[in-house]
Amino acid sequence: MRGDQPKPGEPERALLKIAPFDAYDFFGYLTPGLTLFLNVLIYEMALRVHAHQTTFGHAGRFTAAAWKFVHDLSDVHWSLVTAGFALLLLTSYVVGHVVASVSSLYLERALVVRGYGYPYENLLGLSRRRFQHDRVLGYTHKGAFFWLNCALLAGYLNVARGSDVWHTVLLTSGLCLGTTITVGSLLYGGLKSGLIYGAARRLWGTRRRTCLRRCVTAFGIVALPYELMALPLSRYLNTRSALTPALVHRYRTAFKRTFSLPASVASTNNFWFANFFVSQHGGSLALRLTRWFHLYSYARNLSAAFGLSFVYAIPRLLYWGQAPVFPLSAVAFWVPITYVGIAAVLLVRYYYLYAGYYSKFVFRAFVYLAQESGLLSDAELRKSLGPLAAALAPQTEFDHAETM
């Protein structure tokens, strides 16, 4: 390592001497919490404008009270305003933790990890989707994610527009959601426990594997609408491509020499051990790794904040004295739709940064540091590659043909 590089952890320790919070507390928690509050306020203001034009029970009183509270702040002493602002920041920070928990469980754990698998599995060619129960798990979570969001959107349109069409869409989406979760859970449990394999052996004999594979593929129709939207986008963003064979081989060699553990059996430790190594020895690379982590976490939490802002609109409209019917020209109708669009864009950005930049950077930085520290040598690599050496010779660990 060069002598002018910062020591591992030195910038973080220097920052903690100045303030007890770091950049992630601001971007990862405080900003999403403030965004949620601001979105709710904007929607209440839009409802106030609409309430002046119509009479829908409690809506006028509720929004008038909220608007009066904001307007009366101009007559309050500055010390009370400062205290209120500090309380708002503290509350936003706490709410930001709630938003981050929702985004971590719903977006990262349920959709990405359960639906796709960890990015390292695809990047290193260690995909666990070779088992039928894992395929069922992926179909179930991607299908449930699509049908749940479809039901929420149809529910909002049904309440806001009062159309029988959206009521039918809501019922259909709810039925598809319930079917996906129920059948997927039973199928996954049966495959995981071996009960279905035993029944298939008695029913189909030697053709059981082929028949089971076809049954699981048929179940995948529940996730077909999601795949029709996500697959073209993932191909365009190149988020499902693996690393080049040369880089993967160098990684496996360096990983085994460093940790005395084959990458093929290390499971999630492939990511964590490589991450720890880069964080400990990377210097400026470790800082860049932290930056990518902050960026994708920020996009994920903001996506959840806008999504929760949209969800807020549904019970808020149900609170009206009678069901409102917004015209298409009403601002109050389009505000929640805008929240959905922003949440979708940020969700795509989150996965793009997580799978396309952050995860790839971990393994590229690990291989680079291993090469710099002497864990990898070209002579040993050519010897271990054998006949593949000539085929992989034009490629490097940072193959120019490979895109982000």
For the chain, give every domain's residue range: 1-120+243-404, 126-241
- Assign 389 a pLDDT band (cuts: 50, 70, 90): very low
Local structure of 307: helix, strand or coil = helix
Cα separation, 354 vs 247, in Å, equals 19
Counting residues of the chain whose pLDDT is more than 90, the rounded percentage is 34
Res 322 pLDDT > 90: no
Q: What percent of the chain has a predicted confidence (pLDDT) above 70?
A: 77
Q: What DSSP element (H or E) covers 50? A: helix 31-53
pLDDT digits (tens, 9 = 90+) for 188-211: 888 888 788 777 777 777 677 788
Confidence of residue 398 (pLDDT cuts 50, 70, 90): very low
Is 280 in a helix, a strand, or coil? helix
CA distances (Å), origin 301, targets 24, 25, 117, 153: 11, 12, 20, 20
Residue-averaged pLDDT of the chain: 80
Q: Give the number of other CB atoms < 10 A from CB of residue 26.
A: 15
**Single pTM value for the model:** 0.80
The kind and range of the H/E element at 144 are: helix 132-161
DSSP assignment, residue 240? S
Give residue-wise pLDDT tens across range 150-190: 999 999 998 888 778 888 999 999 999 999 999 999 988 88
Q: Label residue 379 by pLDDT band (50, 70, 90).
A: low
